[in-house]
Chain A
Amino acid sequence: MIGTAFLIVIGLAFMFMALARRQAFGVADGNLAQLHSRPGYHGLYAFLIAALAGSATLMVVTIGGNIAINAALMSQIADALPDALRIERQLVLSDAIALAEGRLSSQDDALRQAVAVRFTQLEGMRVWGALGLGLIVASLTGGQALRSVSLGFRARNRSEQILRGILAACAVIAVLTTIGIVLSLIFETLSFFDKIGWRVDKYLFGTRWSPLSGVSAGQMDPDRVGAVPLFAGTFLITIIAMLVAVPIGLFAAIYLSDFASKRVRAIAKPMLEILAGVPTVVYGFFAAITVAPFIRRTGESIGLDVASESALAAGVVMGIMIIPFISSLSDDVINAVPQSLRDGSYGLGATKAETIRQVVLPAALPGIVSAVLLGISRAVGETMIVVMAAGQGANLTLNPLEAVTTVTVQIVMLITGDTEASTAAGPAFTLGFTLFCITLALNIYALRTVRKYREMYD
């Protein structure tokens, strides 16, 4: 519905565009050079302001209407069920909306029917109101643009200003995304902390994680929300991953930048790129189907007891996933070490190995460190591999042969689990917020180091 309304408003704006263009031709009266701006720009200006103002109105009315309808219906339900909990009222509301839209609802009674009827009315008002207001505003602004068509009117400058604003708005979307992430995470996190009586310490340092087992009357048991096993599991898998990825990635980068012939490079680089392009879900499949059973069998053959979802399997595969990441970033920084330093070392009679170890690597160290940090940040936030190959039980151990769980696994389990969304969202978003903070800190530090490093040799 709203989509159609939007298209109608845009159509109206196109009409104003054509009108303004014709009018500009008329004003110029055959001598286009008299016009400050070419007729096309008058059209563009009319289109832009009509479309912008119209669709902005549409959006405000739609979203505002949505909120208003929700409030009105909730108060209607509250009047009918003064004793009910908020969650129960919300259930009534969603049932009523389902009824109104002809879908199946969990229950069907007089109240729900009444609310459904009211919803249909209000919803109709909202859609028609949005379309009507949008059209009115678009016509007013479009008409204004038509009236302003004249020889001296600076339509080009104006429309370029507007376009520039649109460009800037696009750039700001990145900032809005960050703000959106922070706000949505913080909101649920605070409500979760409220549910555990602000025992943030219990969340950060507690060792028992079973958040959904202690829910009663909207409160959670602070003794069951200790995230330490999750942090430990994430840490363990990350360490294993980095033990695989850093040496392999770094040696590969060193070899490719300073030893490999052109032919080897032409084969090895695309190979690493392919490794980087493999979706993580494929790595997860690989870990679960091939690597985990392999590690289990190998362990059994030498008499070790290996869990079928061992941290080792997930960690090794995650390491493979991060190899190309480390190697390409390290390759970049190693190549950025100026040739003159290498020449200086060779000129003194150093071998390649000595040059790399004693001159190139120390010079590239900051860059390599930040590559590793970015790698860690990826490992910490990686989801699919651990969801498919790591365990689900919160098990506090540092034994890589046992099953551990991670922050991301728990988020997925909470969100996709059977528990009601409003209950599971609290711990899930809190874990998400923790994850965001950790990776953000790593990223900012690493990116800043890389930037400084680049500036040093640029």
Chain B
Amino acid sequence: MVALSDLSTSHGSAAALSRLRKRRRAEVRLKAYGIAAISLAALALVTLMSTVVGQAVDALTETYITLDVPLDPEEIDPEGTGDPAEIGRYNYDGLVKDVLKETFPSVSGRSARRELYGIVSGGAQFELREQVMADPSLLGQTVAVPMLASDVTDLYLKGRYGALRPQDHSGNLSVTLDEDGEVATIESSAPDFANALAEVKDLLSDQAAFLRNQARLQDRGARVFAEDAAEMDESDERTSLLAQSEARAAEADRLLAEADALDVRANADLGQEALTTSAPSLLLQVNGAWIKMTEVSTSGGVGEVLYGQPSAENAAPSEWSYSLHQTPETARKISDRQIAMVEVLKEQGQVEQVFNTRFFSAGDSREPELAGIWGAAVGSFWTMLVTFSLAFPIGVMAAIYLEEFAPKNRFTDFVEVNINNLAAVPSIVFGLLGLAVFLGFFGVPRSSPLAGGIVLALMTLPTIIIASRAAIRAVPPSIRDAALGLGASRLQTSFHHVLPLAMPGILTGTIIGMAQALGETAPLIMIGMVAFIVDIPTGITDSATVLPVQVFRWSDFPERAFEARTAAAICMLLLFLVVMNAIAVFLRKRFERRW
């Protein structure tokens, strides 16, 4: 028997108190889950934003290398016409290359030349051409021309490929060259290279450890095969499994032997070690010339001349230096020779970094250092213009009809369900609709802002209709009654009285819809706005791309410099979205009335 009155005594009991503590703990737990959830969402947002902004910083500056360009009128304008068109016909690519060869005369051989040409952008010649065409009086002078550096040079100077670390040294250096002047033998009077040698030996140890690990895996494989073989009845299969097992055991032994040999080398105090492709780069600088070491011992080694005339006899410590680049040459885009040349140019003050205005004014390009977002921004503008001029009037009129005129019947219900469903249809399906109907059937030009704008308008329409209906519904009926009571028709009431009052809400919804459309990518890819378009679109029927699609395209390119540009394009996109949403919030705060 339980008496209710007895139960009430249990409220203050010790059991109830301990139970209460447990209940309170459960509450704290639930609260903690909530805080954790919010924090995770915040963490995601912060990581996302910091990734994007952190990456985008690199795109804010670009690098110029100033080189003296002799503009020979005999070559460029042999007839002496002074006509820009004539001047423009000259081979400026060759001129840029000649200037580079002049700057680094000792660089010879095809591949070395290619590396040399690679430090400036392929676009430098066009800028030079334009400069000369714009001012033919430059002909006959030697002009210091800032040339756009290539993306690789630019990223190196921004430290994206790791940095050169100068090493301590105290000895006098002697360098002797072989007959071709390409291989140098290096000898220092002090054990200056001990550090570098230690690094190389560490690497050997690492390699040995890796091989041991491989050997262990092989060994395990051998055991598995042997066990399988033991369980086999068929002698044929058994033999083949045993053979497998033995092969693996042998491989394991070979790897172990190799590892042992490496360890011996790693642990030996002295000796001369080769710098393999996976080793750090060791660059030696003497007499303004650069050597890449290929073998190193504690006090010297052998090197390959990258640039210049490095032979030296007892050069004092102040006359030479050497640096170490941790990333092996094969693991970065910039070669050791290019590093040497860029460092020389930098030392001579010919390198400068300036704010990247090009990024905000140029169209797309295959070369990251030449690529800009202006084309995509203009494309976005035209597309949004089309979207707005279709979606806004249609959306508002549809909302007015549904709220003020539509009879409450099954068809209206159907329209309403339809609108709600359209709001949740995947955007890519709208792209397919655009592809089949507007491109295929109505013949709207492919890749054009017109096509994109129509598709986005259809996508945005439900958002605008839903927001507009809510805004219209919020206008109190008393206002309608007042207008109708004065003899206004229902249409006049709607347009003269209800619509102006609902406008802030409608505009807010429209801006939010437009912001969605501005960030939309998939449907535009479907209708071909993903094409490579260099020109800035001048109208709604030109081929164009838009900001988010530009982001998508760039993110697909392998060049590392595009990563920064992708991130910068995202920043621009986000900036536009923030501005639009800020306007929406402002409208809502400033004008929205509550009845």
Residues of chain A touching chain B, judged by Cβ–Cβ distance below 8 Å, are 63, 66, 156, 160, 163-164, 166-168, 170-175, 177-178, 180-181, 184-185, 187-188, 247-252, 254-256, 259-260, 264, 268, 271-275, 277-286, 288-290, 320, 323-324, 327, 351-354, 356-357, 374, 377-378, 380-384, 387-388, 408, 411-412, 415-416, 425, 428-429, 432, 435-436, 439-440, 443-444, 447
Instruction: Report yes or no: B461 in contact with A177, Cβ–Cβ below 8 A.
Output: yes
Q: Any chain A CB within 8 A of the CB of B362?
A: no
Instruction: Report yes or no: A174 in contact with B462, Cβ–Cβ below 8 A.
Output: yes
Instruction: Report yes or no: A170 in contact with B401, Cβ–Cβ below 8 A.
Output: yes
**Residues on the B chain within 8 Å of A320, using CB:** 41, 44, 48
Instruction: State A327–B462 Cα separation when bound (angstroms).
Output: 22
**With A66-B443, A281-B552 as contacts: A248 and B41 at CB distance below 8 Å:** yes
**With A175-B415, A255-B38, A353-B26 as contacts: A282 and B398 at CB distance below 8 Å:** no
Which B-chain residue is minimally distant from A160 (CB atoms)? B491
The segment from B152-160, B174-182, B516-524 that touches chain A is B516-524
**Segment 170-189 of B: residues with Cβ below 8 Å from A:** none
Which B-chain residue is minimally distant from A264 (CB atoms)? B38
Instruction: State A164–B13 Cα separation when bound (angstroms).
Output: 73
**Residues on the A chain within 8 Å of B422, using CB:** 174, 177-178
**Residues on the B chain within 8 Å of A275, using CB:** 41, 44-45
* Known contacts A249-B37, A271-B38, then 8 further A-B pairs from the complex at CB < 8 Å, ordered by chain A residue: A170-B394, A173-B461, A181-B432, A273-B581, A277-B519, A277-B581, A352-B27, A353-B31
Instruction: Select which of A156, A252, A274, A378 is within 8 A of B489 by beta carbon.
Output: A156
**With A174-B465, A286-B51 as contacts: A279 and B26 at CB distance below 8 Å:** no
* B317 CB, nearest partner CB in chain A, Å: 42
**Residues on the B chain within 8 Å of A181, using CB:** 425, 429-430, 432-433
* B30 CB, nearest partner CB in chain A, Å: 4
**Residues on the B chain within 8 Å of A255, using CB:** 31, 33-35, 37-38
Interface majority SS (helix, strand, loop, mixed), chain A:
helix
* A298 CB, nearest partner CB in chain B, Å: 14
Q: Any chain A CB within 8 A of the CB of B587?
A: no
**With A284-B555, A286-B48, A381-B425 as contacts: A178 and B398 at CB distance below 8 Å:** no
Q: Any chain A CB within 8 A of the CB of B530?
A: yes
Instruction: Report yes or no: A271 in contact with B45, Cβ–Cβ below 8 A.
Output: yes
**With A173-B398, A279-B519 as contacts: A380 and B41 at CB distance below 8 Å:** no
Instruction: State A51–B72 Cα separation when bound (angstroms).
Output: 66
**Segment 426-447 of B: residues with Cβ below 8 Å from A:** 426-433, 435-437, 440, 442-443
Instruction: State A167–B394 Cα separation when bound (angstroms).
Output: 8
**With A259-B31, A416-B525 as contacts: A432 and B429 at CB distance below 8 Å:** yes
**With A255-B34, A353-B26, A435-B428 as contacts: A171 and B406 at CB distance below 8 Å:** yes
* B403 CB, nearest partner CB in chain A, Å: 10
Instruction: Report yes or no: A174 in contact with B398, Cβ–Cβ below 8 A.
Output: yes
**With A160-B489, A384-B552 as contacts: A280 and B521 at CB distance below 8 Å:** yes
**With A171-B398, A352-B27 as contacts: A377 and B41 at CB distance below 8 Å:** no
Instruction: State A248–B44 Cα separation when bound (angstroms).
Output: 12
Instruction: Report yes or no: B433 in contact with A184, Cβ–Cβ below 8 A.
Output: yes
**Residues on the A chain within 8 Å of B429, using CB:** 181, 185, 381, 432, 435-436, 439
Instruction: State A164–B426 Cα separation when bound (angstroms).
Output: 31
Instruction: Select which of A180, A249, A378 is within 8 A of B433 by beta carbon.
Output: A180
**Segment 30-58 of B: residues with Cβ below 8 Å from A:** 30-31, 33-38, 40-42, 44-45, 47-48, 51-52, 55
* A450 CB, nearest partner CB in chain B, Å: 9
* B50 CB, nearest partner CB in chain A, Å: 10
Instruction: Report yes or no: B426 in contact with A177, Cβ–Cβ below 8 A.
Output: no
**Residues on the B chain within 8 Å of A172, using CB:** 415
**Residues on the A chain within 8 Å of B426, using CB:** 377-378, 380-383, 408, 435-436, 439
Q: Any chain A CB within 8 A of the CB of B400?
A: yes
* B398 CB, nearest partner CB in chain A, Å: 4
Instruction: Select which of B406, B421, B443, B521 is within 8 A of A444 by beta carbon.
Output: B421
Instruction: Select which of B442, B461, B526 is within 8 A of A415 by beta carbon.
Output: B526
Q: Any chain A CB within 8 A of the CB of B373?
A: no
Instruction: State A171–B420 Cα separation when bound (angstroms).
Output: 13
**Residues on the A chain within 8 Å of B406, using CB:** 168, 171
* A340 CB, nearest partner CB in chain B, Å: 21
**With A354-B23, A384-B552 as contacts: A429 and B34 at CB distance below 8 Å:** no
Which B-chain residue is minimally distant from A67 (CB atoms)? B441
A–B Cβ pairs within 8 angstroms, 20 of them? A63-B442, A166-B397, A167-B397, A173-B398, A173-B458, A174-B418, A181-B429, A187-B436, A250-B37, A252-B38, A275-B45, A281-B521, A282-B551, A289-B563, A290-B51, A352-B27, A384-B552, A388-B556, A435-B429, A439-B426
* B239 CB, nearest partner CB in chain A, Å: 32
**Residues on the B chain within 8 Å of A252, using CB:** 34, 37-38, 41
Instruction: Report yes or no: B415 in contact with A180, Cβ–Cβ below 8 A.
Output: no
Instruction: Report yes or no: A274 in contact with B45, Cβ–Cβ below 8 A.
Output: yes
Instruction: Report yes or no: A388 in contact with B552, Cβ–Cβ below 8 A.
Output: yes
Instruction: Report yes or no: A353 in contact with B548, Cβ–Cβ below 8 A.
Output: no
Question: Counting chain B CB atoms within 10 Å of each CB, which of A252, A280, A288, A440 scores highest?
Answer: A252
Which B-chain residue is minimally distant from A316 (CB atoms)? B44
* A5 CB, nearest partner CB in chain B, Å: 15
Instruction: State A354–B433 Cα separation when bound (angstroms).
Output: 49
Instruction: State A184–B417 Cα separation when bound (angstroms).
Output: 21
* A178 CB, nearest partner CB in chain B, Å: 5
The segment from B96-104, B107-115, B566-574 that touches chain A is B566-574
* B423 CB, nearest partner CB in chain A, Å: 9
**Residues on the A chain within 8 Å of B425, using CB:** 181, 381, 436, 439-440, 443
* A267 CB, nearest partner CB in chain B, Å: 9
Instruction: State A172–B465 Cα separation when bound (angstroms).
Output: 12
Which A-chain residue is minimally distant from B423 (CB atoms)? A443
**Segment 317-375 of B: residues with Cβ below 8 Å from A:** none
Instruction: Select which of B37, B397, B515 is within 8 A of A277 by beta carbon.
Output: B515
Q: Any chain A CB within 8 A of the CB of B470?
A: no
Which A-chain residue is minimally distant from B555 (CB atoms)? A285
Instruction: Select which of B55, B401, B402, B530 is within 8 A of A164 by beta carbon.
Output: B401
Instruction: Report yes or no: A185 in contact with B40, Cβ–Cβ below 8 A.
Output: no
**Residues on the A chain within 8 Å of B397, using CB:** 166-167, 170-171
Q: Any chain A CB within 8 A of the CB of B250?
A: no
* A265 CB, nearest partner CB in chain B, Å: 10
**With A279-B521, A288-B555, A443-B421 as contacts: A412 and B394 at CB distance below 8 Å:** no
**Residues on the A chain within 8 Å of B401, using CB:** 164, 167-168, 170-171
Which A-chain residue is minimally distant from B421 (CB atoms)? A443
* B411 CB, nearest partner CB in chain A, Å: 9
Which A-chain residue is minimally distant from B540 (CB atoms)? A3
* A259 CB, nearest partner CB in chain B, Å: 5
Which A-chain residue is minimally distant from B571 (CB atoms)? A282
Instruction: State A320–B305 Cα separation when bound (angstroms).
Output: 53
**Residues on the A chain within 8 Å of B436, using CB:** 184-185, 187-188, 425, 429
Q: Any chain A CB within 8 A of the CB of B71?
A: no
Which B-chain residue is minimally distant from A279 (CB atoms)? B519
**Residues on the A chain within 8 Å of B520, using CB:** 279
Which B-chain residue is minimally distant from A166 (CB atoms)? B397
**Residues on the B chain within 8 Å of A177, using CB:** 422, 433, 458, 461
Q: Any chain A CB within 8 A of the CB of B419?
A: yes
* A296 CB, nearest partner CB in chain B, Å: 16
**Residues on the A chain within 8 Å of B555, using CB:** 281, 284-285, 288-289, 388
Instruction: Report yes or no: A323 in contact with B41, Cβ–Cβ below 8 A.
Output: yes
Instruction: State A380–B424 Cα separation when bound (angstroms).
Output: 11
Instruction: Report yes or no: B42 in contact with A175, Cβ–Cβ below 8 A.
Output: no
**Residues on the A chain within 8 Å of B37, using CB:** 247-252, 255
Q: Any chain A CB within 8 A of the CB of B24?
A: yes
Q: Any chain A CB within 8 A of the CB of B595?
A: no
* B463 CB, nearest partner CB in chain A, Å: 12
**With A175-B414, A353-B26, A412-B525 as contacts: A324 and B491 at CB distance below 8 Å:** no
* B555 CB, nearest partner CB in chain A, Å: 5
Instruction: State A280–B552 Cα separation when bound (angstroms).
Output: 10
